């Protein structure tokens, strides 16, 4: 393992990455102005941070309308994504002037620790999943296997990409 500035020693390990991205943020900024966009980004960051922390994730990066988090558990990342999807919808209903239509992407795999963050194919794929051109939704390449097939081991494959629903993402044996 390599000790990096700004954090404890981190090495190669399978982690699950969650990327959440506010859909239509650039258009919202153009239509409503910088102040409204700042309020939207602030609310997004608050809701995302609370959901990530609640499920044991680590907030790695926050860039305006995008958040990157890492989880040691694929199951916890899936649960966080489902909770976040619901929380963003609730916030939008509570304050339609700040629409939190958010795309969420998940992928698991090894990534290279760089500074206070990570780089690698798993992050790239999660980002592609979160930024799909369709309506806000959750997509994941993570499959959480029930006990007979493995100890909740994440398996990744573009072919395994699926629309998540609470019933499919959280099926426990």
Mean residue pLDDT across the chain? 75
Percent of the chain with pLDDT over 90: 40
Confidence at residue 11, expressed as pLDDT on a 0 to 100 scale: 67
pLDDT tens by residue, 47-66 = 999 999 999 999 998 988 99
Residue 169 lies in a domain: no
pLDDT in the model for residue 145: 39
Query: What is the predicted pLDDT for the residue at 164?
Result: 43
Note whether residue 171 is domain-resident: no
pLDDT above 60 (res 120) = yes
Cα radius of gyration (the chain)? 16
pLDDT at 96: 95
**If you write DSSP's letter for every residue of 27-90 in order, what string do you get?**
HHHHHH-HHHHHHHHHHHHHHHHHHHHHTT-EEEEEETTEEEEEES-HHHHHHHHHHHHHHHHH
pLDDT of residue 56: 95
Predicted local distance difference test score (pLDDT) of residue 64 = 85
Q: Taking each helix axis from N to C terminus, what angle separates 25-32 and 34-54, rounded to the nearest 10 degrees?
A: 140
Calpha distance 128→30 (Å, rounded) = 24
Query: Residue 10's pLDDT band (boundaries 50, 70, 90)?
Result: low
Q: Is the pLDDT of residue 158 over 70?
A: no
Would you state the pLDDT for residue 130?
72
In a domain, 149, yes or no: yes
> How many domains does the chain contain in total?
1
Tell me whether residue 104 is in a domain: yes
Provide the residue range defining the domain that includes 60. Answer: 15-164
173 has a pLDDT exceeding 60: no
pLDDT at position 71 over 80: yes
Is pTM beyond 0.75? Reply is no
The pLDDT, as a whole number, for residue 142 is 46
> What CATH number does residue 75 fall under?
3.30.70.1230
Residue 8 lies in a domain: no
Confidence band of 151 (pLDDT split at 50, 70, 90):
very low
């Amino acid at each position: 393992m390599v000790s990096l500035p700004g954090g404890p020693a981190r090495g190669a390990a399978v982690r699950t990455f969650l990327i959440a991205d506010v859909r239509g943020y650039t258009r919202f900024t153009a239509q409503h102005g910088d102040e409204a966009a700042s309020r939207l980004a602030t609310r997004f960051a608050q809701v995302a941070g609370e959901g990530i922390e609640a499920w044991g994730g680590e907030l790695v990066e926050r860039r305006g309308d995008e958040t990157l988090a890492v989880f040691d558990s694929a199951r916890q990342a899936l649960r966080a994504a489902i909770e976040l999807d619901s929380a963003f919808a609730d916030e939008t209903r509570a304050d339609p002037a700040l629409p939190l239509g958010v795309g969420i992407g998940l992928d698991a795999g090894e990534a290279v620790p760089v500074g206070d963050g990570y780089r690698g194919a798993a992050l790239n794929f999660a980002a592609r999943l979160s930024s799909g051109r369709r309506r806000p939704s959750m997509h994941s390449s993570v499959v959480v296997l029930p006990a007979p097939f493995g100890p909740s081991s994440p398996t990744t494959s573009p072919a395994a990409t699926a629309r998540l629903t609470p019933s499919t993402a959280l099926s426990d044996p």
